[in-house]
Amino acid sequence: MNPLLAPSTLPFGFPDFTAIDEEHLEEAFAVGMAEHRAEVAAITARGGPPTFDDTVVALERYGATLRRVSAVFATLVGSLSTPGVQEIEVRVAPQLAAHADAISLDPDLFARLDALFTARHDLQLDPESLRLLEHRHRDAVRAGARLAAPEQERLRALNAELSTLSAEFGSRLLADMNAAAVVVHDPAELDGLSPDAVASAARAAEARGRPGRYLLPLVLPTGQPALAVLTDRNLRERLFRASISRGARGDAHDTRELVTRLAAVRAERAALLGHPHHASWVIEINTADSLEAVSAMLGVLVPPAVRNAEEEAAELTTRAGHPLEPWDRAFYAEQVRRERDVDDAALRPYLELERVLRDGVFHAAGVLYGLRFAERHDLPAYHPDVRVFDVTVESGEPVGLFVADHYARPTKRGGAWMNSFVEQSQLLGTRPVVLNTLNLTKPAEGEPTLLTVAEVRTLFHEFGHALHGLLSDVRYPTFAGSGVPRDVVEFPSQVNEVWLRDPSVVARYARHHRTGEPLPDALRDRLTDPSPHFGQGFATTEYLAAALLDLAWHRLGPDERVDDVEAFEAAALEAAGIPATMPPRYRSAYFNHAFGGGYAAAYYSYIWSEVLDADAVEWFTERGGLRRENGEAFRDAVLARGGSVEPSEAYRAFRGRDPDIAPLLARRGLTAVPCDDRRDDTAPPGGELRAGREESGSRYS
């Protein structure tokens, strides 16, 4: 029996991972796709004119097996990517692309959708149902339903190739991250690392067959955490060069030909679909609406961000007493932060994972939304490190399940993310089962997991995504939780970060892991201080560089080809005003968001969402912060609505007006910039650009 071919009998439909083997996956995919095609064929075989229920609602109901196996497989690909799973991904990815095309390009199905769309204003649909019909029709058109047969055949081939290339990019990058990890022979070179970090490096080396050595694994972004504390400058250089070499070392894991091919195929597909480039096709359905609007916003932010970063670099050069290399910046910036702002080394003993999770993240959700969390040990997870929590409201009524997978391992892809095993839907009668995945270093058995401030932020950030799924209250699964435009999907998660600095929350979670003593006043004041901190110029610049690099790749036309990835990257960043001395958060060869994930031409989304985030945080602050009535207002207007209403409408319902960009600029410490000559139709949310920044860390996961 294949356990994926029937609904799970476990609470909330949680997958029975004790019964699921790799051998079940391909069979379940094959059966799920065949079942889905048969269901769609039944829709198109119906006689008479189409109805909303027998076509649009039916599409929402159908494909249950495929949804089930896809949710399980997506988790395994990201978090337990064994060689077997990677091989299955390469084989299945083009099959899934072909299946999606078979549904989207089915002429009989589109004829029914088109007829309903044409008559939509006569159908007397409620607003959510009307929105669903419009989205289904829009997505079919965007997928090529109106193309002629020859163009559709070419489109199918391009989609299949894209799915294969993206899967291969992720697999190669994971392999190269493991291969490029830095091995250290002499423990004296690790001076500056905390004792628990040194012990973790020793265990990592032993796990990789290098007993007696020390291994520094790589995280996904360019900047590696150890660069801030290692006193050995040669080791810092080795670590930095290992980071920026990923995917570009000329071996079997090299991703550069995948990057250029992905960009070319995306450009050709966009042209088939009537767009000048892939960025146009992506942004068309986002809240930004146009590449020009995105470019205008980023273009205004770059000069003051670079200016601040250069001022920071000048100060760090003076402190270092020698020219500042890229592997020096974090080390000397950390010294300044320890003196002026947040001292990670002093704070870590007070930031223990279990207390931060329960007394910080869960506590804030309890105060704001009345949620309660109780760990359960009866549900079979896919790895021993994975934990499962019942989520209820105060009355005991169930909400769903929250799943936490916090620790790094060689089979887990870098970064942090949220996804769902089951999505909330009134139509399907399902409650949400959501997963947060992080990549924390696992301590020795019996030792505490001590966090940096950036890791605490990531914990709160990803849980903001989880809340979007848990508190969803929509009829149709298409709109559940984070089923919103890509450039607002980060809005709730970024808002949730504010609670890590709330004094009442800090007082609960920031306690010494051995003594239980609260933070000393000086450290507490630094942690709760919302003012811009040192290093924000560089943090903003490295993010903007990556966002602009993403757009440069995806504004290429179908006749433009790139032969040299590094040369293209350098030219694109220079043209955008990014100094060569400030590397982007991701270089092309390891830019998984753009080439292995779902953020192609949309990495700008983080800062676009942050306009909403900073303005919403100001709303919370004006109304007393962590209060139930504030949480209920945010839940009812934003979190519960998912994609069932236009994001701008949801925001106005919450805020009472359109968003203002001034709080974002104030947060980031950017100097005021003139905007009188900028056209209104290229303005970001809120229109006028005024005076700001953000704390360095892992906001751009």
Q: Is the pLDDT of residue 543 over 70?
A: yes
Comparing CA positions, the residue from 134, 138, 112, 92 lying closest to residue 47 is 112
| pLDDT above 90 for 255 | yes
How far apart (Å, rounded) are the C-alpha atoms in residues 10 and 16?
7
Terminal Cα distance for the chain, rounded: 39
Please state the rounded mean pLDDT for residues 345-352.
94
State how far the alpha carbon of 462 is from the alpha carbons of 382, 487, 490, 606, in Å: 20, 16, 9, 13
The span from the CA of 70 to the CA of 86, in Å, is 14
CA-CA distances (angstroms) from residue 576 to 214, 293, 462, 572? 40, 15, 30, 6
Residue 372 — φ and ψ, nearest 5°? -125, 145
* 312 carries an active-site annotation: no
Q: Tens of pLDDT along 1-14?
A: 899 999 999 999 99
Has residue 693 got a pLDDT over 70?
no
Nearest CA to 526 out of 283, 262, 339, 255 is that of: 339
- What whole-number percentage of the chain has pLDDT above 70? 96
| % of the chain beyond a pLDDT of 90 | 91
Range in 359-368, 376-385, 500-509, 666-675 the model is least confident about:
666-675
* 477-509 burial: b if 16+ Cβ within 10 Å, else e: bbbbbbbbbbbbbbbbbbbbbbbbbbeebbebb
Whole-angstrom Cα distance, residue 498 to residue 625?
A: 9
- State the pLDDT confidence band at 344, using cuts at 50, 70 and 90: confident
pLDDT at 670: 84
CB 429 within 8 A of CB 474: no
At 202 the pLDDT is 96
pLDDT-based confidence at 310, cuts 50/70/90? Answer: very high
Q: Is the pLDDT of residue 518 over 90?
A: yes
Span 24-40, pLDDT tens digits: 999 999 999 999 999 99
With a cut of 90, say whether residue 276 has pLDDT above it: yes
Mean pLDDT across the chain, nearest whole number?
A: 93
Reported in sequence order, the residue ranges of 24-72 that DSSP labels E, i.e. its strands, are none
Contacts 24+ apart (CB under 8 A), 17-26: 17/72, 17/380, 17/381, 17/382, 18/380, 19/380, 20/72, 22/82, 22/84, 22/85, 22/88, 25/69, 25/72, 25/73, 25/76, 25/85, 25/88, 25/92, 26/88, 26/91, 26/92
Residue 60 pLDDT exceeds 70 = yes
Three-state secondary structure of 131-151: HHHHHHHHHHHHCCCCCCHHH
Give me Rg for the CA atoms of the chain: 25
| pLDDT for residue 685 | 38
The 3-state secondary structure of 306-335 reads HHHHHHHHHHHHHHHCCCCCHHHHHHHHHH
Q: 211-217 contacts: CB < 8 A, separation 24 or more? A: 213/183, 213/184, 213/185, 214/183, 214/184, 214/185, 214/187, 214/190, 215/181, 215/182, 215/183, 215/184, 216/181, 216/182, 216/184, 217/177, 217/178, 217/181, 217/408, 217/441
Give the residue from 350, 662, 369 showing the smallest Cα distance to 506: 350
Whole-angstrom distance, CA of residue 262 vs CA of residue 257: 8
Q: pLDDT-based confidence at 675, cuts 50/70/90?
A: very low
CA distance readout (Å), 56 to 63, 67, 256, 424: 13, 17, 41, 18
The contacts of residue 42 (CB under 8 Å, 6+ apart) are none
Say whether 480 sits in a helix, a strand or coil: coil
Predicted confidence band of residue 673 (pLDDT cuts 50, 70, 90)? very low
Given the residues 168, 423, 462, 610, the one annotated as active site: 462
Say if CB 668 and CB 643 are below 8 A apart: no
DSSP letters along 662-683, please?
HHHHHHHTPPP---TTS-GGG-
Give the chain's largest Cα–Cα span: 81
CA 696 to chain centre: 17
The encoded tokens of residue 211 equal 């007993």
Average pLDDT over residues 139-161: 97
Summarize pLDDT for 599-651 with one digit per residue, the tens: 999 999 999 999 999 999 999 999 999 999 999 999 999 999 999 999 999 99
Strand runs labelled E in 371-495: 371-376, 387-393, 398-407, 417-422, 433-440
419 within 8 A of 481, measured Cβ to Cβ: no
Supply the pLDDT for residue 531: 81
In this structure, are residues 76 and 26 in contact, taking their beta carbons and an 8 Å threshold?
no
Q: Strands (DSSP E) along 199-271, which ranges?
A: 214-216
Six token digits for residue 521: 């006043």
671 confidence band (pLDDT: 50, 70, 90): low
Query: Using CA atoms, how far apart are residues 399 and 640, in angstroms rounded to an integer?
Result: 12
Alpha carbons 287 and 492: distance in angstroms, whole number: 15
SS3 sequence, 145-174? CCCCHHHHHHHHHHHHHHHHHHHHHHHHHH
Say if residue 54's pLDDT is above 90: yes
What is the CA 690 to chain-centroid distance, rounded? 28
Burial class of residue 81 in the structure, from the number of CB atoms within 10 Å of its CB (0-12 exposed, 13-18 middle, 19+ buried):
buried
Cβ burial, residue 390 (10 Å; 0-12/13-18/19+): middle
Q: 340-376 burial string, b = 16+ CB within 10 Å, else e?
A: ebbbbeebbbbbbbebbbebbbbbbbbbbbbbbbeee
User: Which secondary-structure segment (H or E) carries 184?
Assistant: strand 182-184
Q: Give pLDDT, residue 686.
A: 34
Half-sphere exposure of 232 (CA within 13 A, CB side): 13
Q: Is the pLDDT of residue 672 over 90?
A: no
